[in-house]
Amino acid sequence: MSDSNRLPLPQFKNLFEEDSFGQKFFRHFFGKEIFEKYKSQFEAMGEAGAKATPFSKEADLNEPELISFDEQGLRVDKIKYHHSHQILEELSYGKGIVSKKYQSPMIDKDRSYRHQLGFAIGSYFAQTETGIFCPICMTDALGYVLEKHEQSPEVKEVLKHLAAEKLKDQWQGAMFLTEIQGGSDVGANILRSEQTKDGWKIFGEKWFCSNVDAQAALVLARLPGEEGDLKHGTKGLGLFLLLRETPKENWRNWQVNRLKSKLGVRSMASGEVVFNGAYVHLLAGFGKGFKMMAEMVNMSRLYNSVSSISIARRSLLEALYFGKARTAFGKTLSELPLWRSSYSDLVSEYVLLHTLLFQTIRALDKGECGDEASHKVARALTPICKAITGKFSVHASAEAMELIGGNAYIEDHILPRLMRDAQVLPIWEGTTHIQSLDLLRSLKKEGAEALFARLTACLKDSKGVGHQQLQKLQKELAEYLKDLSLRDVSSQQRLAREAVEKLARVASLSFVYELGRESAELRELCEATMKRQIDRKFFCTGPSAQAPPFAFEEESIFLTL
């Protein structure tokens, strides 16, 4: 076969260096001083993400295996991993993807950028491997909750191992939340806790325990008592810290019945667990347990959004490489008007949602540093971000596969795995329905004033592309949410997903408008995104008759992603 007939096969050496938009975005987002300070970490994780590609494929094909008994017939419930799994851990945990967030300077001097930096750098590993990125998520989210808690010896021990420099000393985290009878209805949980003379113990089943062999996990369990609030609902749930080896061989007090056979994220072990008196440490009691676990869940929702955007980014990168190298009908695919237009639609949505995500994370960091308005903004945007990015990851990976064609449908290609992995992202940490209902709760409790103040500020002192339309959209959104608040509960719930879409579009357009106003380097891309997207109503719908026609040359900006 001649070289001209061979299929384009990308072999990326560094995913950060391939990311023209990301480099410009983060340089502006963090400012030159912080960006240059951490640039080597971006480059290292970009290289790790590229190196992980073949090992991620191997780990997907060779799933973790449950070893229930040892050679003496003793119950051990050990998880056997393929050697590729160890390499993936070295390329992520070993590069400090979690530990650096618990070390100086992120933990102290640069704390106001802590989560923004952690997510931005980690996203380059997530572009390749979603399965390992889930335990990374839970490990970091575990630390996020524990560092706010009273520093008991057990908590100090966990945090010490999260910050450990060497991989062999690092611990991983998990959260054991879901039970078979309740699913998303956590108030239906029945796993029970019991206070004995030796300490707290838990009894019962958890149905979906991802990273099942983690050294530390947060577990919700029902507190003792027969009163109504203790027997039913979330108020009667306590939050407990479960340690695998504290007391020694504590893991012998639970059994892993089986590992889940999942559609995607196959490199991670997710199991069904029965607890038979496992020792735990009470962190939060009546009325506080679920609230404390909700902090971990919200952090996990942001990780879910990062996974979603990262899968979309890698899918677009694969399609762009193929489109520029593959010849059909006498031209490269990227020169064909319809291919070019379809790809530009995806890129413009990606720019919107990438910007929305990192503005949400910025609001989280500001809220953590005492800015109450930013805390409210993060609270409102987190479920919106999680819902829309999860949907977009599925859409973008499928559209990228179609842009490449049948070759991307073959398992030799990365896209089938990315598509399978993406399918879980609208489900994990609460489905789109759960996110929509959570948004309603947030608006009812916190109101929308802080969010609208932030969105309005995006338009100040400027009359750029889309300014008038965006002002109109913000006004219409405010009127829509006011009308929604006056409706009965049933009507509000039926309209909740629509509310998520409307808020997501107006917020992301506002942030991209602001980005274009502030960054000369990104202004052309932001203005092109505004032109292409401002008249559309929903994400993930493909071409829209309402969108203005683009000249062939104007779409060149979207082919530099």
Q: What is the mean pLDDT of each run of 10 residues along the chain (561 residues)?
A: 68 97 99 98 99 98 97 95 98 98 97 99 99 98 93 95 98 95 86 96 96 98 78 90 97 97 98 98 95 95 99 98 95 95 96 99 98 97 98 98 96 98 97 97 94 96 88 97 97 98 98 97 96 92 62 80 79
Q: Closest by alpha carbon to 200, among 246, 151, 148, 231?
A: 246
Under a CB-based contact definition with an 8 Å cutoff, are residues 219 and 206 in contact?
yes
Under a CB-based contact definition with an 8 Å cutoff, are residues 155 and 177 in contact?
no
Which two tokens mark 11?
């072999």
In the chain the domains, ranked by start, together with CATH numbers, are: 173-289 (2.40.110.20)
Residue 140 to residue 102: CA distance in whole angstroms: 9
DSSP notation for 23-63 = HHHHHHHH-HHHHHHHHHHHHHHHHHHHHHHHHHHHHHHS-
Q: Look at residue 232 in the predicted model and tell me its pLDDT.
A: 80
Q: Closest by alpha carbon to 500, among 392, 383, 400?
A: 383
Answer positive or negative: Cα dihedral of 506, 507, 512, 515. positive
Q: Which long-range contacts (CB under 8 A, 24 or more apart) does 402-408 make?
A: 403/319, 403/322, 403/323, 403/333, 403/339, 403/342, 403/343, 404/318, 404/319, 404/322, 404/323, 404/326, 407/7, 407/322, 408/318, 408/322
Which two tokens mark 164?
């450990």
Q: Look at residue 387 in the predicted model and tell me its pLDDT.
A: 98
Pairing of strands 254-259, 216-222: unpaired
Which two tokens mark 45?
């994780």
- The CA-atom distances, in angstroms, between 559 and each of 123, 272, 324, 556 are 21, 45, 9, 5
Residue 30 to residue 334: CA distance in whole angstroms: 32
Phi, psi (rounded to 5 degrees) for 468? -65, -45
Q: Look at residue 552 in the predicted model and tell me its pLDDT.
A: 62
End-to-end CA distance of the chain: 31
Q: Look at residue 228 in the predicted model and tell me its pLDDT.
A: 59
Residue 159 to residue 468: CA distance in whole angstroms: 50
SS3 254: strand
Q: Closest by alpha carbon to 272, among 259, 282, 263, 285?
A: 259
Strands, E assignment, 260-379 = 270-284, 327-328, 331-332
Angle at 298 between CA 376 and CA 367, to 5 degrees: 35
Strands, E assignment, 129-232 = 173-176, 192-196, 199-210, 216-222
Under a CB-based contact definition with an 8 Å cutoff, are residues 558 and 530 in contact?
no
Residue 10 to residue 7: CA distance in whole angstroms: 10
Phi, psi (rounded to 5 degrees) for 53? -55, -55
H or E, element range at 64: none
The structure tokens 């967030």 sit at: 101
Under a CB-based contact definition with an 8 Å cutoff, are residues 380 and 442 in contact?
yes
Phi, psi (rounded to 5 degrees) for 18? -80, -10
Give 316's contacts (C-beta < 8 A, 6+ positions apart): 343, 346, 347, 350, 396, 400, 561
Under a CB-based contact definition with an 8 Å cutoff, are residues 176 and 209 in contact?
yes
The structure tokens 């390749």 sit at: 128
Strands, E assignment, 24-163 = 65-69, 75-80
Q: Look at residue 160 in the predicted model and tell me its pLDDT.
A: 98
Pairing of strands 270-284, 237-243: antiparallel
Give 340's contacts (C-beta < 8 A, 6+ positions apart): 334, 552, 555, 559
